[in-house]
Amino acid sequence: MQTKRSGESYAVALSQRPHDMILSRVDDRIIADVVRLAVSYPYPHSILGSPDAENYVHKLANQARHEGDGLYALQYSDRVIAAAHLSVYGVGSGCEHTLWKIRHPLIAAGQPFEYLSNLFNMLTAVAVKLRAGTAKFVIFLSELEQEAILQAQAAGFEPEARFKDYYRLGEVCFVYGKTIIGV
């Protein structure tokens, strides 16, 4: 695996993905494409899939408290095909352990869902290069996001928790996690 950082953009080479698939921080050049993904989000959500999604995408794209935080887009043949937000969720006190959270995985209509597992793998690759030590990654997914759940599992994430009524009454939220030791 190779990671190359250029300003706020990252290119990650993984052997199991097409060579022209690039992960980059969302900027003015591609934010409109990510907004389209967010507005067309097909599952129940308080913001995604609604007209408010555009403002939310802009907020996520400009939200960075730690190095590596931000909204990322996966591009293939110069098209945004998937996106997600990556953030540092917690830092162990002096023990070089970082908790990362991947939020709001989005995929363009008609794209293979396998691109989500590529996105998850590429996000974890970027994160482990940015912060020394061990890394824990979590993804909170609604029971309705079945394809995202399958792709999280394909990327090595395992079910770790289950919350009833987390997003909406009667709906289950699953937490998938992945730990990377000795990075």
Model pLDDT for residues 121-158, shown as the tens digit of each residue? 999 999 888 877 889 999 999 999 999 999 999 999 99
pLDDT at 35: 95
- Is the confidence at residue 65, as pLDDT, over 50? yes
Mean pLDDT of the chain: 85
What is this structure's pTM?
Answer: 0.85
- Torsion, Cα 77 4 103 17, to 10 degrees, reads 40
Closest CA to 48 of 61, 34, 62, 69: 34
d(CA 94, CA 119): 29
CATH of segment(s) 2-180: 3.40.630.30
pLDDT at residue 10 greater than cutoff 90 = no
Q: Which residues fall within 8 angstroms of residue 55, CB to CB, at 6 or more apart?
A: none
Domain boundaries, the chain: 2-180
